[in-house]
Amino acid sequence: MPPITITERPYFYPAVVLGVAFIIAALVAGLFLKNLRASGNMLTSTGSAKMHVMSDSVKFSGSVLRYGTQYELPSGYREIAADVEKVKTFLLAQGIAPEEFMITPVVLSEQYQYGEANIDQPKRYELRQTVTVNSKDIAKVTKLAEHVDELAYQGLLFQSFGVEYFYSGLAEARVALLGDALKDAKARVTEIAHAAGSRVGKLDSASSGVVQVVSQNSIDVADYGTYDTSTIEKDIMVTVRATFNIR
């Protein structure tokens, strides 16, 4: 009988490749277990968890401004006082209750003028009085911010600082998310240990990362944590780094 050549065995090469792959996998698993035992039978993983929330409080702030020379300060104070009264009337008309807004005292700042042409000129000043609204009624304050341009029609120079949205249950949400993040970390360790023929034992240690509060579906996180106040809907994200015993 003539010898059988390799070409007469169509599955010869795939079988060889598969056999080599099994050998390599066994060697990798063996090295993993050897290193694992050498490191004290510990395995560390990072887990994460996320929660979608709606803001439950809102803040709006802005400043009334007046400018004048040192000789115009008396009239400037009178004018800014009249401007603030117009702002109060506007807020009340928008449904903002008196206890929901606060007005700070006037801040006086010198406007420095540089150049030789201004050496003999009178000093100029900025008068600023800030108004802050804090409320649980998000829709009402959002609408207020959208109509703040009406103050300009009354002759006021009003600088808006925009609307900020907050979630008051952040502390409680963080506690709930830590448990979910720890479960996620354990699930990852379990997959790795299972692939190496080991089992996950007790938790040895765990530490939580910073809390990230971002706009919905955003990935704009920071190493030191972040708190987005520009949107009503937010995602709270927490990470946990956990080390487990491996058997």
Domain that holds residue 178: 41-54+169-246
What is the mean pLDDT of the segment spanning 76-92?
96
What pLDDT score does 83 carry?
97
Grade residue 42 by pLDDT with cuts at 50, 70 and 90: confident
* Residue 26 reports pLDDT greater than 70: no
Are residues 192 and 204 both part of a single domain? yes
What pLDDT score does 23 carry?
53
* Residue 8 reports pLDDT greater than 90: no
What pLDDT score does 144 carry?
95
Are residues 174 and 238 both part of a single domain? yes
Are residues 195 and 232 both part of a single domain? yes
Are residues 143 and 203 both part of a single domain? no
What is the mean pLDDT of the segment spanning 45-69?
95
Residue percentage of the chain with pLDDT more than 70: 82
Rounded Cα gap, residues 58 and 161, in angstroms: 13
Closest CA to 77 of 87, 86, 64: 64
State the residue for tokens 């998000």: 138
How many separate domains does the chain show?
Answer: 3
**Model pTM?**
0.76
Are residues 193 and 232 both part of a single domain? yes
For 145-162, letters b (16+ CB in 10 Å) and e give: beebeebeeeebebeeee
What pLDDT score does 204 carry?
92
Are residues 66 and 138 both part of a single domain? yes
The chain-wide mean pLDDT, for the chain, equals 85
What is the mean pLDDT of the segment spanning 14-32?
47
Are residues 46 and 96 both part of a single domain? no
Give φ, ψ of 221 to 5 degrees: -105, 170
User: Is 131 in contact with 61 (CB distance < 8 Å)?
Assistant: yes
What is the mean pLDDT of the segment spanning 28-55?
71
Token duo for residue 102: 């606060």
Q: Which of 137, 164, 191 is the last residue of a domain?
A: 164
CB atoms within 10 A of CB 63: 19
* Residue 6 reports pLDDT greater than 70: no
Are residues 47 and 70 both part of a single domain? no
Are residues 181 and 118 both part of a single domain? no
**CATH number of the domain residue 72 falls in:** 3.30.70.2970
What pLDDT score does 195 carry?
87
Q: Which of 164, 199, 226 is the last residue of a domain?
A: 164
Grade residue 223 by pLDDT with cuts at 50, 70 and 90: confident
What pLDDT score does 122 carry?
86
* Residue 76 reports pLDDT greater than 80: yes
What is the mean pLDDT of the segment spanning 144-159?
94
Q: Which of 141, 164, 187 is the last residue of a domain?
A: 164
Are residues 188 and 235 both part of a single domain? yes
Are residues 148 and 229 both part of a single domain? no
Grade residue 40 by pLDDT with cuts at 50, 70 and 90: low
Which residues are paired to 63 by β-bridges?
130, 159
**CATH number of the domain residue 220 falls in:** 3.30.110.170
Are residues 101 and 150 both part of a single domain? yes
Taking 3-state DSSP, the helix, strand and coil percentages for the chain, each rounded to the nearest 5, stand at 40, 35, 25
The string of pLDDT tens digits covering residues 115-131 is: 666 667 788 999 999 99
* Residue 167 reports pLDDT greater than 50: yes
Grade residue 221 by pLDDT with cuts at 50, 70 and 90: confident
